[in-house]
Amino acid sequence: MINYVDIIVGLAWGDEGKGKISSALAKGYDMVCRWNGGPNAGHTVYINNKKYKTHLIPSGVFHGKPSIIGPNCVINVDKFHQEIQYLKENGFDTSLVKVHPFAHVITENHIKYDLEYLKPKLGTTGQGIAPCYADKANRVGIQVWQKLDKEYLWDMKLDGKILCEGAQSIWLDINWGDYPYVTSSETFPHNACSLGFSPKKIRDIIGVAKIYDTKSGVDPLFPESLWDDPVFDKIIEIGEERGTTTGRKRIVNWLNTKKLINAINLSGVNKIIINKCDVLEKVGVFKFQSYDGFIKVYHSIEAMQDGLAVEIFTHCPELDLKDIVFSGDQTKI
Ligand code: IMP
């Protein structure tokens, strides 16, 4: 029986540090599941001070918990095996990793099409995500049960306390993002129900944001002029703002509070973690874009956090002071 489900969702354009949060929380759950996307994601987690990078497999595997990849995910079978091998070599129990048989398979042709047509135009991760979801919708796709060894196919029931970790984030959602500069899956937390549980089982929705904005890939909301700002260069360097999947430099901007507040209200999050406060502290510049579109400037990270909290509470009246955590450590919340 499912006791309850908690869901982690990114509140911006990805790369907010969801992996850190799910890894820190995973111990308290019986299963950790992923409901969307594929190897386009990149999760960086620290276990006993060692850095690990994964793209597909949920972070439960780092903590001895069953780690489920749901039916709305897309799988590159070779990359899946490579990730399993990487985890095995680092001493993790990969018998806990299971993929739903109805997840879809990314083929060589999907990757070829993505690299040839989509990546140059839209700055995709080039992993074949869009063509794979397109074939799924056209009902000519290949499901995972046709290609993956039985030992990795999920044949259990969801049971106990479940943690769902979102890949990509609210503003990359195919319905609500800045189309076509989006990914091809649904990133909103209610889509976690595609794993096979009722929305009534959802307890907490934990939103993960970052104290500044970044975008990987092309997006008119992040114009090229942002490259010219030396402060943003510093943020890229100190914050290690390079794609885990692509290695590309991310484009940085000051946190857009209006977008953040819309993401909070649309997704229904009731807890918020704002990551990477330590990066701005090291850079020594404290700014965000207010709800009304002005740049607000502060003299310390504490003052900026207070200003940001006021801005959020003004527009998200259901949230309480205890519901926001500012985090400044890459290894813990
Ligand atoms: P695709 O998902 O590879 O098709 O890429 C579509 C857009 O989503 C591109 O702008 C990518 O940079 C972005 N994207 C996809 N996955 C991630 C992610 O995990 N983090 C950040 N951006 C991502």
- pLDDT surpassing 90 at residue 273: yes
Band (pLDDT 50/70/90 cuts) for residue 224 is confident
The structure tokens listed for 34 are 């992923």
From atom 5 of ligand 1, which residue's Cα is the shortest distance away? 124
In short, whether 327's Cβ falls inside 6 Å of ligand 1 is: no
In short, whether 183's Cβ falls inside 6 Å of ligand 1 is: yes
Band (pLDDT 50/70/90 cuts) for residue 228 is confident
> Of 27-36, 41-50, 276-285, which gets the smallest average pLDDT?
41-50
Band (pLDDT 50/70/90 cuts) for residue 227 is confident
In short, whether 128's Cβ falls inside 6 Å of ligand 1 is: no
Rounded average pLDDT over 174-192 = 97
In short, whether 54's Cβ falls inside 6 Å of ligand 1 is: no
Per-residue pLDDT at 26? 95
Per-residue pLDDT tens digits for 88-128: 999 999 999 999 999 999 999 999 999 999 999 999 999 99
In short, whether 124's Cβ falls inside 6 Å of ligand 1 is: yes
Per-residue pLDDT at 190? 97
In short, whether 168's Cβ falls inside 6 Å of ligand 1 is: yes
The 3 state secondary structure assigned to the chain is CEEEEEEEEECCCCCCCHHHHHHHHHCCCCEEEECCECCCCCEEEEECCEEEEECCCCHHHHHCCCEEECCCEEECHHHHHHHHHHHHHCCCCHHHEEECCCCEECCHHHHHHHHHHHHHHHCCCCCCHHHHHHHHHCCCCCEHHHCCCHHHECCCCCCEEEEEECCCCHHHCCCCCCCCCCCCCCCCHHHHHHHCCCHHHEEEEEEEEECEEEECCCCCCCCHHHHHCHHHHHHHHHCCCECCCCCCECEEEEEEHHHHHHHHHHHCCCEEEEECHHHHHHHCCEEEECCCCCEEEECCHHHHHHHHHHHHHHHCCCCCHHHEEECCCCCCC
In short, whether 26's Cβ falls inside 6 Å of ligand 1 is: no
> Distance, CA 66 to ligand 1 centroid (Å)?
26
Per-residue pLDDT at 236? 95
From atom 10 of ligand 1, which residue's Cα is the shortest distance away? 217
Average pLDDT, the chain: 95
From atom 1 of ligand 1, which residue's Cα is the shortest distance away? 124
From the CA of 37, give the closest atom in ligand 1. Answer: 2
Per-residue pLDDT tens digits for 48-82: 889 999 999 999 999 999 999 999 999 999 999 99
Ligand 1 pocket test: which of 74, 125, 132, 214 has the largest number of ligand atoms within 8 Å of its C-beta?
Answer: 125
> Distance, CA 303 to ligand 1 centroid (Å)?
33
- Model pTM score: 0.96
In short, whether 41's Cβ falls inside 6 Å of ligand 1 is: yes
> Distance, CA 14 to ligand 1 centroid (Å)?
8
> Distance, CA 177 to ligand 1 centroid (Å)?
12
Please say if 15 is a catalytic residue.
Answer: yes
Q: CA dist 159 to 31, 125, 191, 295, Å?
A: 7, 34, 18, 47
Please say if 114 is a catalytic residue.
Answer: no
